[in-house]
Amino acid sequence: MATVAGVDSSTQSCKVVLCDADTGEILDEARAPHPDGTAVPAESWWQALCSAGDGLLDRADAVAVAGQQHGLVALDADGHPVRDALLWNDIRSADAAEELITELGGPQMWADAVGSVPLAAFTVAKLRWLADHEPEHADRTHRVLLPHDYLTWRLRGGPSDHTVEPTTDRGDASGTGYWSPATGRYRKDLLAHAFRGRTPELPRVAGPAEAVGRTPAGALVAAGTGDNAGAALGLGIADGDVVISLGTSGTAYTRAAAPSADATGAIAGFADATGAFLPLVCTLNAARVLDAAAELLGVDLAGLETLARQAPPGSEGVVMLPYLSGERTPNLPHATGSLHGLRPETLRPSHIARAAVEGMLCNVADALDHLRIVGIPMQRVLLIGGAARSALVAELAAQIFGLTVTVPKPNEYVALGAARQAAWTLGGDAQPPRWPAHTLAEVRSPSDGGIGRRIRTTYESARQALYAR
């Protein structure tokens, strides 16, 4: 029996799953934590991978890594980081993103060039920040990698073996702001402009099922990808499926046959891990909203759900704008969270609990609307992530999104997608192997949609009041 390992190197931890290459059955799994913060040592990811992969990677015939997108890993000429890696959720580069948009002719130019308009999360904006605020580190930067690139390189022996060529894939490269999904090429002119004339080396973009090398122990190493493309591969999404992931951040994405170029900047025109495309809208605030509300109210997440069920739909006008960490969609990097519509009779734990759940979902529904506007067909939502394990979240999602919501069995879908890619590479087939999907629950949207519309209308009024200030 051939076995494959999939790695999910996320913001919070490293997860490794060992799977049967033919069936996708998870045979073993482990995890190790990552340090907190929006700037962390890249070496800590490698240490976590070695810890989580101990006893698993040596049993695998092939391995692939799916990692958090956008992060900046700047390496010197010897392959060592010049500073801590800047993660996707580090917003110090927000002003740099705005500068780049203005300097090069506006958002339409960027959308046409690379499929996306730069935001603080994008690597290209982080390079501009580094050039302007830490020029000594920028001068030492010989090569720029993404988190998954760095770990794939380390698995193959870099930097101790200088013959190992760093690689990336089209899914992760499409989140940099200097690689075009439409043409499949780097825009080194944009890279140089952002980095104030510097032209660091970039990883080669490998094909979807390409083997990029082997580990020192002999396991085949697949190209890997970014976390969202990994989850899409792990879920096996079909036409009409929209994935909404409610992790630390929230994402809404789907598979598309053609590249997108949204000049509003809301839709990131990413590529996927199969050769197609992955238009995606991201919010910075999702499950963290529920965690913070539960802590405020002195309960765990199950207690938060119990409280929320005690309040009526719409929380009698109480609205939470969940911008606890700024926000990416809408683009409000310096915003803060707020509660609206409080009265003596609604200043209750139950109403605040329900407003937290509804606010989180309304924020994601706004993101979903951007995909609707450009005509992407939607038949159902696949709801994943930590917050999707709440039955109330699934029920309210069906109301607020106005779509059937399918909740797959809780699983490490990013790691599972990486494992599926490793199996694809190992087998050498034209398409990824067919692994069965497992549905935990399905919730249909109410036929009239009235409750969801009322919740969203009240939320929209509160959000517009924020803009008016």
Q: Is 165 a residue whose pLDDT tops 90? A: yes
Q: Is 372 a residue whose pLDDT tops 80? A: yes
pLDDT recorded at residue 468:
66
The pTM of the full predicted model, rounded to 2 decimals, is 0.88
pLDDT recorded at residue 469:
62
Is residue 346 in a domain? no
Stretch 32-39: mean pLDDT? 96
* Distance between CA atoms of residues 231 and 137, nearest Å: 34
Is residue 334 in a domain? no
* pLDDT, greater one: 445 or 405: 405
Stretch 9-27: mean pLDDT? 96
> How many Cβ atoms sit within 10 Å of the Cβ of residue 236?
21
Is residue 219 in a domain? yes
Q: Is 449 a residue whose pLDDT tops 80? A: no
* pLDDT, greater one: 442 or 57: 57
Is residue 289 in a domain? no
Is residue 365 in a domain? no
Q: List CB contacts of 280: < 8 A, sequence separation 6 or more.
A: 228, 251, 252, 253, 267, 268, 270
Is residue 256 in a domain? no
User: Tens digits of per-residue pLDDT, 296-320?
Assistant: 999 999 999 999 999 999 999 999 9
Min mean pLDDT across 187-191, 398-402, 439-443 is at 439-443
DSSP string, 133-198: H-HHHHHH--EEE-HHHHHHHHHTTTTTSTTPPPEEEHHHHTTSSSEETTTTEE-HHHHHHHTTT-
Is residue 109 in a domain? yes
Domain count across the chain: 1
User: Tens digits of per-residue pLDDT, 321-348?
Assistant: 999 988 888 878 889 999 999 999 999 9
pLDDT recorded at residue 467:
73
Residue 33 pairs in a beta bridge with 13
- Identify whether 448 is a catalytic site residue: no
- What CATH number does residue 41 fall under? 3.30.420.40
* Distance between CA atoms of residues 17 and 8, nearest Å: 9
Is residue 170 in a domain? yes
> Percent of the chain, pLDDT > 90?
86
Q: Is 446 a residue whose pLDDT tops 80? A: yes
Q: 59, 60, 45: which is closest to 15 by C-alpha?
A: 45
User: Tens digits of per-residue pLDDT, 179-200?
Assistant: 999 999 999 999 999 999 999 9
Please pick, among 90, 169, 172, 227, the residue that the annotation labels catalytic: 227
pLDDT recorded at residue 381:
96
Domain boundaries, position 88: 3-228
Q: What are the b/e assignments for 304-342, b being 16+ CB within 10 Å?
A: bbebbeebeebbbebbbbbbbbbbbbbbbbebebbbbbe
